[in-house]
Amino acid sequence: MTRHRMVVVLLEDVLPLDYAIPIHVFGREAPEAYDLVTVSVGGGPVPVAGGTTVVPDGGLELLRRAGTIVVPGYADAAGRELPGSLLRALAGAHRRGVRMVSICSGAFALARAGVLDGLTVTTHWSLCADLAERFPAVTVDQSVLVAGTGSVLTSGGVTAGVDLCLHLLNADLGPAAARHIARRIVMAPRPANGQQPFVEKAAVPPGDDVIAQAQQWMLVSLERPLSVKEVATRFALSERTFHRRFREKVGLPPLTWLRDQRIARAKELLEGTELSIEDVARRVGLGTAANLRVQFRSVTGVSPREHRKSFTFGA
């Protein structure tokens, strides 16, 4: 059996868990199927985010024999320019038909090389807006763990790299092998929208304009049922004007934004208190446990109870 050449590209300030995942899954758990090597720009030692360094097997010349290239996440990925030699090597590999893979913020390297153009991809949920803004030819889905095509795949934040590696194992070796290795690394299957429960809604930006004031007032009034009419009247605007100005500034209709804030607060209460589901529902203005369950699942893809269990350590 000819082993598949898997090349992991280590960029400066590589995220430690991101690069360790493919090394463990392919190099440790399936060495009979994969020939795994690591590379860096120039072939020298690479600093790891958080401290220490890692020594690769060689430089970018090793990409020429790659069957799959994996780019783990790296620090400051959104704003950092990358060497032209790396981007040309990635773009060239893509043109040759090499399977291109990123973990977490590694998607920015593939995007800079033009590999993600025209595709729906993902990255760490906190970086999705940056990726979409900087690369308008790329469609970004923050909710999923793995996104892309058969030849170009991206994963969500950090541990979603495990889901991506299992996805590759399933494609390369079949479901039985993927399940076997999943058991060995103690990894249970996760839902397709598995990044969504971790997404934190951005805080309300400070400001003195009427919409910012309305947002702040809505936040301190979460326990109450609120209507667009009530909020608009309080700030001396017509419903139509308030709705239009709110959407222009925030990007969402007022009640959609308010629902998201209620769910964000519900997450905090589920994670940090022992309040019943009914009490949480009342505290966030959703009235009943049944309504909370419906709204919570529509936003996160899981039930309040499942969310609490996921974020209760030692349970």
For residue range 42-86, list pLDDT tens digits in order.
999 999 999 999 999 999 999 999 999 999 999 999 999 999 999
Is the pLDDT confidence value at 194 over 60?
A: no
* Pick from 70-84, 104-118, 155-169, 279-293: least confident: 155-169
Pairing outcome for strands 146-148 and 152-155: antiparallel
Q: What share of the chain is helix, strand, coil (3-state, %, to 5)?
A: 50, 10, 40
The number of residues making up the chain comes to 315
Please report, for residues 33, 35, 58, 88, the alpha-carbon distance to residue 65 in angstroms, rounded to integers and kept in the order given.
16, 11, 13, 15
Mean pLDDT of 89-110: 97
The pLDDT of residue 268: 85
The pLDDT of residue 1: 66
Mean pLDDT of 262-289: 91
The pLDDT of residue 256: 93
| Closest C-alpha among 34, 70, 69 to residue 181 | 34
List the domain boundaries for the chain: 4-198, 210-310
The pLDDT of residue 39: 98
Order of strands across the sheet that contains 4-9: 34-39, 4-9, 68-71, 99-102, 152-155, 146-148
Confidence tier at 172 by pLDDT (50, 70, 90): very high
Highest mean pLDDT among 59-73, 141-155, 174-188: 59-73
Q: What letter represents residue 113's amino acid?
A: A
Please indicate whether the domains covering 4-198 and 210-310 agree at the CATH topology level.
Answer: no
In terms of C-beta density within 10 A (0-12 exposed, 13-18 middle, 19 or more buried), how is residue 232 classed? Answer: buried
The pLDDT of residue 206: 46
Is the pLDDT confidence value at 315 over 80?
A: no
How is domain 210-310 classified at the CATH fold level?
A: Arc Repressor Mutant, subunit A (1.10.10)
For residue range 235-251, list pLDDT tens digits in order.
999 999 999 999 888 88
How is domain 4-198 classified at the CATH fold level?
A: Rossmann fold (3.40.50)
Is the pLDDT confidence value at 313 over 60?
A: no
